[in-house]
Structure formats: structure tokens, C-alpha cells
Amino acid sequence: MLNKVFADARSALEGLTRDGITVMSGGFGLCGIPENLILALRDSGARNLTVISNNAGVDGFGLGLLLETRQIRKMVSSYVGENKEFERQFLSKELELEFNPQGTLAERIRAGGAGIYGFYTRTGAGTVVADGKETRDVNGETFVLETGLTADLAIVKAWKGDTEGNLVYRKTARNFNPMMATAGRVTVAEVEELVEPGTLDPDQVHTPGIFVQRIIRGAHYEKRIEQRTVRKRSA
């Protein structure tokens, strides 16, 4: 059986990164992002990347690191409000942005992973989201055709994984990771705990190992909070 386990993030991405590829990066905000693989992608020096991700991290962390080094040419995203460098590059036309309603983005990724060309949705009909897209009227309502998304490389983060690539996500860190794992031509996963086959309960596996080509145990996780909000102390 193919050995899927690699020593670290750098070696796991070896031979997979090059200029101009499309990369899917899991996570929501800073929750469930593949921190180690993002760092390795930055260090690979690959440029002119198209990155599909719900958001672009924050300044100095997550995908924000790739924005700082100008390695991203285009973002396909849903939410970009926490990154000032993203805003600056977009407004100065240094960065291309394909904006998607969040549910539409998730379904486009799921469709790509399932081999579905596209689907019709009411979301965005009659707005700039529908500009340039095919529409269809059904029962008096307008639907917009959205196409499935795939990527040359998908990098995802899971809580636990086994050496065969079966993955288990924890709580809200599940977010975009499972569908992205199916939509990458090559999927590389990083996990907090790497276990032997047979350790994971098959009924608890969220991503079957058939979708994962390479896996590492992450070296370090900061688990930052985007916006820490605390209640004022009572007098």
C-alpha cells in the first residue's frame, strides 16, 4: 500500500507546488486552517496562485502570510473582512477577487468534488452576483447557474487521522475541510493526532482515506482568535 505519511509539511508539498496552480485551503476564519501547510506553501515560493478559501486569514497569519509575500493572484472567497492587506491589494487592483455567497461557495466545492458541472440556485439572482452568469426562470422565480470548483491542490486540517488518510474533524473545525478534501486533484492533510489504521471508529470518519494522498502530523498550532470579545467587569 502507498505510504501516505510524510515527515513534515515541506516534504508533503514537495513536487506539488508550482506557479499558477489553484489551491483550496480549508478552514473558517482561523478555525480549522492548515497552519503548517500554509507556511510550507509560502516557503515553496510558488506565485500567481488562485486560492479558494472561505476567507483570507488575518494580517500576518494563515493565508494572510501568502498575501504579504504577493504569492496570491486571485482569491475565490466568501468573507474577507478581517484582513487589511487583502483590502489594500483588492482596492489597488493588485489582487483579483471572485466573491461568492457563503452557501454557494460551499456547494460549488461540494459539486466539484462530486463531479457535478453546476447547479441552479436562487441565491444572488437579481444582484451583481448573477452578472455574466446563465439564469433560468422556474415557476416564476429566477435561478442562477453556479459551476463546480476543483483545485490542483487541496490542503486541509483535521483533528485526528490515521496513516491511511482517514480523517476526523472536531466540532466547528469541520467547516469547509471535508468538501475541499474531495475536490483537490491531490489532497494533503495535516492532523493534530496521527494514529494507526483501525484506531478510528469507522462510523466517526468524516473524510475517507481514498480522498487523501498525503498526510502529516502538524508540528505546532497557535489556534488564534480573530476578534477576542470579553464582557466588561461589573463595578
Give pLDDT, residue 224.
76
Q: Which structural domain range is residue 23 located in?
A: 9-115+148-217
User: What is the number of domains present in the chain?
Assistant: 1
User: Is residue 202 classed as helix, strand or coil in its secondary structure?
Assistant: helix
Report the CATH number at residue 159. 3.40.1080.10
Whether 71 maps to a domain, the answer reads: yes
pTM for this model (two decimals):
0.93
Average pLDDT of adjacent 10-residue blocks, the chain of 235 residues:
91 98 96 96 98 94 96 95 90 95 98 98 96 96 98 98 98 96 98 97 97 95 78 76
Whether 128 maps to a domain, the answer reads: no
Cα distances from 80 to residues 29, 103, 114, in angstroms, run 9, 15, 27
Whether 4 maps to a domain, the answer reads: no
d(CA 161, CA 191): 6
Work out the number of other CB atoms within 10 angstroms of the CB of residue 52. 26
Give pLDDT, residue 235.
65
DSSP letter string over 216-233?
Answer: EE-S------SS---PPP
Whether 139 maps to a domain, the answer reads: no
d(CA 134, CA 34): 35
d(CA 41, CA 34): 10
Whether 130 maps to a domain, the answer reads: no
Whether 184 maps to a domain, the answer reads: yes
Give pLDDT, residue 167.
98
Of 179, 181, 201, 202, nearest in space to 191 by CA: 181
Whether 65 maps to a domain, the answer reads: yes
d(CA 99, CA 12): 30
Give pLDDT, residue 166.
98
Whether 1 maps to a domain, the answer reads: no
Q: How far is CA 103 from the centre of its chain?
A: 14
